[in-house]
């Protein structure tokens, strides 16, 4: 099997991050780690699609403001979202005069963006890159499942798409957190068909990527202070523990899942936890980044997970192929 | 304005290409340049979506066969298509055990794939990369416009989505055609709202990228043996000539458009010409590649163009943001 893991030659550093989330995410356990939150998840727009475009636009503008950089200082944006034709970032990027690469690995897109952004920096063809993704509960719900107006009851294994957007500014000069290495995922399909049980569809992809990463690096899970999958949810992350155990690898207390960490409230309301391209994004750019900056976390393995279905493939009775990428972030001891 | 043009440091070479097209494309002026053609555009599948997945899968398998390479010899695939959630490549990649990066820049996705694939090779993190895209008239028509069963009449400025798929194998050792440099596009929106007139929506993006490319390289259009936009169509490519003239740049006989070259037949049947992520792809991987290999063409500038709309953005009354990337291919004199 081909080695899927690449180690970056240069110091690829997180210069800064920005996050914006909806009301439910703000009320959750990670709420204090997010930069901005919105009270009205329609943001005064006429549709939820426009609201998500505004979330995506706002988070990039906020990152530029925070870092006192101008659009001209940014070489490229690597962006994605969950809407058909990734219109959240397409329309957001209309507001910026920055070269644009649109990405789609479903909820794993943030991982793809960080990997490709880091490769671009490593190749020497760029100095500053923004990686951003967004999702919105109400755009995802009506695209993949049912119109909200139906008031459909949730199934026990369903998840709640995170309303929010996040952006990471990568560069080679400033920052304490480095992108050390990355394992690029393959498409894995174990035959799960239920679009309301995406944790089960994605857990095998997370296992495949994590095993490949551990083998390539010669590390055990305990090497990391924290291993975080993107949005397997509570049931899905328990399933990953079981699947890893099958292969003789025990995931300890240092393993968690961004989706499982996102919300408070009973399962009837939030299902198995958060999902969507914003889930792993805001958890990393909010919670993980701040914990690493303060020194509480030093080595973190982020594993964004994505279910590569569409409503068409689902309606045509197809199973759900999935993907997961793994990215190792390391806190540099020296102040740079 | 930030420089958008990158020159590759290594020899990034096209090792080989593969193309497969539908019956209409096979009958067209470029028909003889394509590797494979299908008689039944449903390919014996139960839906057109399955047919497109099969096209995408087939072209990658054919490229591996042609080059006598195995899946394990390929480091990564950079793929995209036009279907919601890019399911053609997601499901195609289920058949391969190769690390996968899903891309979406609409019909410009092939350009994005070649640029990111070349950057990945240039960075030293990979040795062999496949770049592939696909589209299908019947999946695009019902997704963006109307169900085929309606038999809707075409509007005069509409285009015909190309049924086909193409794949390029990039490496650093073998091949006569090099990826010399690339200009990465930005999102441009001149306010065109008609989803049946995408040439007009994309022409401004093509101008912006071409002007940026010429400025960064200090070249005039006559430097190239051939400048090829992706899918502006006949009216759209005439519009680009006018838009370029406005800026004092005359496009001569060495300018053409893949969409305008694709079909024969009256306008009532094919509209302004071809479109879709397969249009620029099969034209490059079929026609251009063979003309460059034979030495008839030495320097070619390919400008894949993409309209970044979705049916949702269109139904919500939005305009069509567009993007174009430019890639310079050069024939190396020495046999490598």
Domain count, chain B: 2
Residues B223 and B135 in one domain: no
A153 confidence band (pLDDT: 50, 70, 90) = confident
Please judge whether B9 and A91 are an interchain contact, meaning their C-beta atoms are less than 8 angstroms apart.
Answer: no
Residues B163 and B201 in one domain: no
Is the residue at B197 inside a domain?
yes
Please judge whether B312 and A49 are an interchain contact, meaning their C-beta atoms are less than 8 angstroms apart.
Answer: yes
Residues A138 and A218 in one domain: no
CA angle A112/A117/A118 to nearest 5° reads: 100
- pLDDT tens sequence across A23-63: 999 999 999 999 999 999 999 999 999 999 999 999 999 99
Please judge whether B84 and A311 are an interchain contact, meaning their C-beta atoms are less than 8 angstroms apart.
Answer: yes
Distance between CA atoms of B116 and A120, rounded to whole angstroms? 8
Q: Are the C-beta atoms of residues A164 and A278 closer than 8 Å to each other?
A: yes
B interface test, pick of A9, A81, A125 with most B CB neighbours within 10 Å: A125
**Which regions in chain B score pLDDT beneath 50?**
336
Mean pLDDT over A80-108 rounds to 98
Distance between CA atoms of A232 and A201, rounded to whole angstroms? 9
B interface test, pick of A79, A102, A116 with most B CB neighbours within 10 Å: A102
- Give chain A's radius of gyration (CA, Å): 18
Q: Are the C-beta atoms of residues A68 and A240 closer than 8 Å to each other?
A: no
Distance between CA atoms of B221 and B293, rounded to whole angstroms? 22
Chain B residues with CB inside 8 Å of A145's CB? none
Q: Could you list the residue range(s) of the whole structural domain that residue B16 is in?
A: 5-171
Residues A142 and A202 in one domain: no
Residues A211 and A292 in one domain: yes
* B41 secondary structure, DSSP code: T
Distance between CA atoms of B25 and B164, rounded to whole angstroms? 8
**Last residue within a domain, chosen from B154, B171, B188:** B171
Is the residue at B336 inside a domain?
no
Chain B residues with CB inside 8 Å of A187's CB? 90, 93-94, 96, 100
For chain B, what percent of residues have pLDDT higher than 70? 99
The neighbour count for residue B225, using CB atoms within 10 Å, is 15
Residues B164 and B193 in one domain: no
Residues B192 and B64 in one domain: no
- pLDDT tens sequence across A225-263: 999 999 999 999 999 999 999 999 999 999 999 999 999
For chain A, what percent of residues have pLDDT higher than 70? 99
Distance between CA atoms of A44 and A147, rounded to whole angstroms? 20
- pLDDT tens sequence across B64-117: 999 999 999 999 999 999 999 999 999 999 999 999 999 999 999 999 999 999
Is the residue at A201 inside a domain?
yes
Residues A246 and A188 in one domain: yes
- Give chain B's radius of gyration (CA, Å): 18
Chain B residues with CB inside 8 Å of A102's CB? 103-105, 112, 308, 323
A interface test, pick of B45, B74, B84 with most A CB neighbours within 10 Å: B84
**Last residue within a domain, chosen from B150, B171, B192:** B171
Q: Are the C-beta atoms of residues B79 and B56 closer than 8 Å to each other?
A: yes
Question: What is the reported pTM?
Answer: 0.98
Q: Are the C-beta atoms of residues B167 and B63 closer than 8 Å to each other?
A: yes
Q: Are the C-beta atoms of residues A176 and A333 closer than 8 Å to each other?
A: no
Smallest CA–CA distance, residue A264 to chain B, in Å, is 30
CA angle A319/B307/B321 to nearest 5° reads: 115
């Amino acid at each position: 099997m081909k080695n899927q893991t690449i180690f970056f030659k240069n110091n690829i550093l997180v210069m800064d991050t920005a996050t914006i989330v909806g009301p439910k995410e703000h009320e959750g356990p990670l709420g204090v780690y997010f930069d901005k939150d919105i009270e009205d998840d329609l943001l005064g727009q006429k549709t939820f699609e426009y609201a998500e475009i505004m979330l995506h636009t706002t988070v990039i503008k906020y990152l530029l403001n925070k870092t006192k950089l101008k659009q001209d200082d940014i070489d490229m944006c690597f962006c994605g979202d969950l809407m058909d034709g990734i219109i959240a970032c397409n329309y957001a990027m209309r507001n910026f005069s920055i070269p644009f690469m649109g990405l789609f690995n479903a909820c794993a897109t943030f991982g793809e963006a960080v990997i490709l952004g880091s490769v671009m920096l490593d190749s020497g063809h760029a100095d500053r890159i923004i990686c951003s993704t967004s999702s919105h509960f109400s755009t995802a719900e009506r695209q993949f499942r049912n119109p909200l107006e139906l008031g459909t009851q949730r199934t026990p294994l369903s998840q709640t798409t995170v309303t929010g957007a996040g952006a990471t500014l990568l560069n080679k000069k400033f920052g304490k957190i480095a992108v050390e290495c990355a394992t690029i995922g393959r498409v894995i399909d174990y035959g799960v068909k239920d679009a309301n049980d995406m944790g089960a569809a994605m857990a095998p992809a997370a296992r495949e990527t994590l095993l490949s990463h551990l083998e390539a690096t010669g590390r055990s899970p305990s090497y990391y202070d924290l291993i975080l999958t993107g949005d397997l949810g509570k049931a899905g992350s328990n399933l990953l523990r079981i699947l890893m155990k099958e292969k003789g690898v025990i995931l300890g207390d240092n393993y968690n899942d961004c989706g499982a960490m996102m919300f408070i409230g009973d399962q009837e309301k939030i299902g198995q936890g958060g999902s969507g391209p914003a889930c792993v994004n805001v958890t990393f750019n909010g919670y993980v980044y701040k914990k690493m900056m303060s020194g509480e976390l030093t080595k973190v393995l982020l594993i964004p997970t994505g279910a590569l279905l569409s409503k068409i493939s689902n309606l045509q009775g197809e199973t759900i192929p999935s993907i997961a990428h793994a990215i190792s972030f390391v806190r540099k001891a020296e102040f740079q």
